[in-house]
Amino acid sequence: MVQFRRIGAVVMAWYLAFWSQIFGYPSESYAAAVATYMKDERLREALPIVWDKPLSKSYTRLLMKTFYPEWKRSEFKAVAKLWGKESAWNPKAKNPTSSAFGIPQLLNLPEDTPAPLQIERGLAYIQHRYGKPSVAWNHWRKNKWY
């Protein structure tokens, strides 16, 4: 039964990936499938996913809806702008003048941290330090860091 579910998850992930390529932006269903995929090490090794900007944004939106329901749509727009300026949503982005790394450009983040974990830690940092993304974005606009 577990093997059947695993095969079903892989088929669904590929189906959603196919349609996301046609429409140009991953759906929230795709992000949910990716979240499930990330928990299974054997699937990750067999079917690697490229964490591009649309997928990272979709995953961020899903995490925000799930773990930060009080953050409205405008808060996602603030995160999108903030991380667009910080790293252009590149999970391998390095700051040449500090130890900041990854999509959220967190200090001392290990370079082998996978993109989903970067996003999770970035949202947790914003919530802890600023309360919500719009406050972090306003701070970034004034100081060019957050």
pTM: 0.71
- Please tell me whether residues 8 and 37 are part of one structural domain: yes
Range of the domain at 13: 1-49
- Please tell me whether residues 111 and 143 are part of one structural domain: yes
Give one DSSP letter per residue of the chain, joined into a string: -HHHHHHHHHHHHHHHHHHHHHHSS--HHHHHHHHHHHH-HHHHHHS-----HHHHHHHHHHHHHHH-TTS-HHHHHHHHHHHHHHHTT-TT-B-TTSS-BTTTTBTT--TT--HHHHHHHHHHHHHHHTSSHHHHHHHHHHHS--
How many domains, in total, are found in the chain?
A: 2
- Please tell me whether residues 57 and 32 are part of one structural domain: no
- Please tell me whether residues 65 and 87 are part of one structural domain: yes
Give the pLDDT of the chain (146 residues) as one tens digit per residue: 556 666 666 666 666 566 555 555 555 666 666 666 666 667 666 666 778 899 899 899 989 999 999 999 999 999 999 999 999 999 999 999 999 999 999 999 999 998 999 999 999 999 999 999 999 999 999 999 99
